[in-house]
Amino acid sequence: MQIIVTGTLLGGTYALIALGLTLQYGAARIMNLANGETLVAACFVSFWLFTATGVNPLLGMVVIAPMALVINWLIYAWLLRPLVRRAKNRGMLEVDSILATFGLLFLLQGLMLLGFGGAYFSYRFLAEPFLILGEPYGLNRVVAFVAAVIVASLLYLFLYHTRQGTAVRAVAVDPASARLVAIDVARTAAFAFALGGALTACGGTLLSTFYTFNASMGVIFTMKALIIVIMGGVGDVRGATLAALILGVTETAVASLIDPGLTLAANYALFVLVLLFRPQGILGRASA
Amino acid sequence: MLRRTFNALAISAALLTVGAGFAAANETLKIGVSASKTGPLTAGATAVYWPNVKLWVHDVNQKGGIKVGDKLLKIDLVEYDDKSGPEEAVKNIQRLATVDKVDFIVAPYTTGINLATAPLISRYGYPQLVATGNANELEAFVKRWPNSFWLLGKASDLSTGIVATLKTLRDKGQIGNKVALAHVAEAFGLEMIQSAKPAFKEAGFDIVYETSYPLGTQDLAPVISGAKAAKPDAFVAYSYPPDSFALTEQARIQGLNVDAFYVGVGGALSGYSQRFGKQVEGVLAMGGINPGDEVYKAYRERHKQVTGQDADYWASPVVYSSLQILEQAIVKAGSTDRAAVVKAISTGTFETVIGKVSLQNNLIGRVWTVGQWNNGVLQGVNGLGVDGAKAPVKKPAWN
């Protein structure tokens, strides 16, 4: 039981890391390699808000998420739209966006190194035991999990039960046809990218309450997010959430029952299995 | 036309040479440094390495410079980033030696990069005073590269320090016999566990739980719950900074109440006690210092004043001492002749912030191995050839 709870909590953390990238890659078609840097930047902002002004990170999200939305919109408008315009097909856009966001990764990392230096940062927030079925778990992780559930449900409602959300999905499935039904593809893609950035920033804010982080750690998160996004099926929010949970529970089970040293191996074994048997992702549909 | 261009070139070349001559006349001591400013090693380097380089240059230049023969030379520092990788570090050292033509080099950061650059540094004849690395079989290493000096002790000294501390506690009847072990699955953790396990067994401890975890993971709840299930009397983790923090937090949350709780690298950082506050009381960690020592106290204050950040309780003063040794050896040698300085280092005795240091066979005989948090400072409780070690005490329960 403890394994399932710990694993589920970990899955929530992973979902937070990956949901933003799902949107950015799935809908806006931008393979954002600077995803982890966005996350770490949010960690820094919430660290700063908490230690300098005493702002609760959960409240901090109210500031950080809109800020990330605007910044990511600007990044899309200035850096990525020219690439979208000149791309002849999806493959070309993917290659170009990988290169461009690879550069962005270094830019963001450099700025953070400049601003905060390379040291480890961490602070204590809700690092209290919280009892679930008589076993203690970190309250900050529980809070992050609950927030992940809320964020994922809101996102699901938005994507599947609103007009704007349906437009985002339409763009994700087929940008060319979406235009035929009067969807402003450029605007919708920009919105999806910005929303993805905001989600990642929310994830960063929550993660900063229990992770020790520094300016050069973004890559670790990008890697994790990438695995989850591909496992879940590109652009599928439900798939990504499911993949995150499966990954969390598997890792915890392997760590508890076999050996914690094997978590990475289990992680990649699962990834390989999915790629072998469902290359389109757990919930992904085979492309026509 | 061509000739004119050629003449212009020749003149500017001549001017450059003259300029270089002037620079040489207006002498400084050129010191090269290459360590991590980006990449995964940055965090550690920012905590213990760079601030001390900065502090040392500041201290030396403020008093007018280093006395070389009858001249007082200020330090001119040339800095490069090794991007946390040995390949880049090797290129940097090469450049420092051949392009910048520095007089001396500050040894790089971490064991791996020091091992990787040792042959090159040795080829150029620079002394290499390693303050942030340790390994086993150093005797053989220094025989091959006699320019390298190791100031943080051997890996086995560090890994077995905690065994001695636990033995002391057991002999006093404060802890039982059961030990849970964890280590990070990376060169450092493996080297530590290799020498630690036989030592634990030899000391008659019962290893009731043993595990490793991958580098970089901070989700360590399963490690702690596994250890808790084994009901140990002591928990020992050969860990790196982010996992040292995560293990401590998990142990507290899950209420892993052992009578001795030990973490590896990172437990000696001032940030560790800042994060956990009063909770660190009684926690054991790799490193240690004699915090009552006046010289160390003054150094700690100056460190804070000049760099704006706190020194740690382990490697920081050692890094600073390595630079003091270099400085005093140059003064002793009376010249910037590298061979003479190497000789001065291996034969001299030096006044440093970690006390009087002399090196036997290029190795230091004075190493702190274990410290215990006590009223916000990490008090050394075990070490080789050190003064001021206090007796370890049983850890109170987390609260």
The DSSP secondary structure of B280-292, one letter per residue, reads: GTT-EEE--B-TT
Q: Cα–Cα distance between B287 and B381 in angstroms, integer?
A: 9
Q: How many residues does chain A have?
A: 288
Kindly state the average pLDDT of the residues A91-102: 88
Between B60 and A87, residue with greater pLDDT: B60
pLDDT of residue B19: 46
Best residue in A122, A137, A221, A224 to probe B by mutation, most B CBs within 10 Å?
A122
What's the number of CA atoms in the CB half-sphere (13 Å) around residue A215? 23
Query: In chain A, which residues have their Cβ closer than 8 Å to the Cβ of B46?
Result: 117-119
Q: Residue B89's pLDDT is what?
A: 94
CB atoms within 10 A of CB A93: 21
Is B255 in contact with A215 (Cβ distance < 8 A)?
no
Give per-residue pLDDT as tens, B92-119.
999 999 999 999 999 999 888 999 999 9
Secondary structure class of B390 (helix, strand, coil): coil
Cβ of A136 and B253 within 8 Å? yes
The DSSP secondary structure of A16-68, one letter per residue, reads HHHHHHHHHHHTS----TTHHHHHHHHHHHHHHHHHHH---HHHHHHHHHHHH
The runs of H, that is alpha helices, within chain A are 2-26, 35-53, 57-75, 81-86, 90-116, 139-161, 163-173, 175-180, 185-207, 218-232, 237-253, 263-277
What ipTM is given for this predicted complex?
A: 0.80
Task: Give the confidence band of B204 by pLDDT, cuts at 50, 70, 90.
Answer: very high
- Pick A216's closest partner by Cβ from B42, B211, B254: B42
Per-residue model confidence as pLDDT tens digits over A146-167:
988 998 889 889 988 999 888 8
pLDDT for B1 beyond 60: no
**B332 pLDDT above the threshold of 90:** yes
Searching chain B, which residue's CA lies closest to the CA of residue A140?
B253
- Residues in chain B with CB shorter than 8 Å from the CB of A210 are 218, 246, 249
H/E element, B101: none
Task: List chain B residues with CB under 8 Å of A105.
Answer: none
Look at the block and give the residue holding tokens 């999990």. Answer: A145
Would the pLDDT of B233 be above 70? yes
Contacts of B293 (CB under 8 A, 6+ apart): B355, B388
Find the mean pLDDT for residues A19-41: 89
Of A26, A12, A9, the C-alpha closest to A195 is A26
A24 and A32 in contact (C-beta within 8 Å)? yes
Q: With 60 as the cut, is the pLDDT of residue B20 above it?
A: no
In the predicted model, is pLDDT for residue A285 greater than 80?
A: no
Segment B197-213 shows an average pLDDT of 92
Cα-Cα-Cα-Cα dihedral of A48, A49, A50, A55, to 10°? 180
What are B's interface residues with A at a Cβ cutoff of 8 A?
Answer: 36-40, 42-43, 45-47, 182, 185, 211-214, 216-223, 225-226, 241-242, 245-246, 249-250, 252-255, 266, 269, 271, 275-277, 309
Handedness of CA A192, A193, A198, A201 (dihedral sign): positive
Cβ neighbours for B296, distance < 8 A, ≥ 6 positions apart? B289, B290, B317, B353, B354
Please write the tens of the pLDDT for every residue from A167-224. 888 888 887 888 888 888 888 889 999 999 999 999 999 888 888 888 888 888 998 8
Q: Is A157 on the interface with B (CB under 8 A)?
A: no
- b or e along B358-373 (b: 16 or more beta carbons within 10 Å of the residue's beta carbon)? ebeebbbebbbbbbbb
Report which listed range, A231-235, A268-272, B95-99, is most confident: B95-99
Q: How many CA atoms lie within 13 A of B297 on its CB side?
A: 5
Q: Which amino acid belongs to residue A215?
A: A
Choose among A219, A31, A208, A221: nearest CA to A109. A219
